[in-house]
A and B are shown apart, each in its own frame.
Chain A
Amino acid sequence: GAGVSQSPSNKVTEKGKDVELRCDPISGHTALYWYRQSLGQGLEFLIYFQGNSAPDKSGLPSDRFSAERTGGSVSTLTIQRTQQEDSAVYLCASSLRRTGYEQYFGPGTRLTVT
């Protein structure tokens, strides 16, 4: 079946602009996660959704970052007034929580802020 999809795959933006990143989880997966990974670095957790609510937003780096999930499906991560340090690969993962905690990742969105 279809896996997690993310769009766009690549995004180049100028410093100070806003960007929206989209994640389509696997159908039926109730849990959705956003992470980011800078070049050569480990995985950095951003936010977790269970259904449409976000019990854990602890990883959002600043108030310029926000995320929402609607209909228990698609999620959007928004970064306002982008900075160069926001450049990274943004990864989305989903999980069918009833079967354990394995998370299935999308291909990521590579964000470059110039």
Chain B
Amino acid sequence: DAKTTQPNSMESNEEEPVHLPCNHSTISGTDYIHWYRQLPSQGPEYVIHGLTSNVNNRMASLAIAEDRKSSTLILHRATLRDAAVYYCILITQGGSEKLVFGKGTKLTVNP
């Protein structure tokens, strides 16, 4: 699976938007960009995924660069419950089903 690069940590204030970047310069045409997060002492939680077009759901938005070499997870209004480690991963359609998490970005939300 192609690798992703994320900042180790980011900080935000409550009620403000958060943009979490992810670089994936070796992405292939069949790789989907997935985001998961893991809150303290909980299992991972699916957030959003996309292929080429920007995606929105109730949790977040995913902005994908035109060349697909990078993407940004957008939390429109951070809450204290959004404090978690966010993982950006690539999953190849028809390839291995398993999730392989890197270090992720630890998001701290300040009240």
- If A42-B103, A100-B32, A102-B49 touch, does A59 touch B42 (CB 8 Å cutoff)? no
A104 to chain B: which residues have CB within 8 Å? 46
Q: For residue A26, give the distance in angstroms from its CB to the closest CB of chain B.
A: 12
B67 interface hit (Cβ, 8 Å):
no
Q: How many residues of A contact B (CB 8 A)?
A: 23
A48:B49 contact, CB within 8 angstroms = no
B101:A102 contact, CB within 8 angstroms = no
- If A91-B43, A107-B43, A108-B43 touch, does A102 touch B100 (CB 8 Å cutoff)? no
Query: B-contacting residues of A (Cβ < 8 Å)?
Result: 31, 33, 35, 42-43, 45, 48, 50, 56, 59, 89, 91, 93, 95, 100-108
Interface CB pairs A-B, < 8 A, 12:
A33-B98, A33-B99, A35-B99, A42-B103, A43-B101, A56-B97, A95-B97, A101-B93, A102-B34, A105-B46, A107-B43, A108-B43
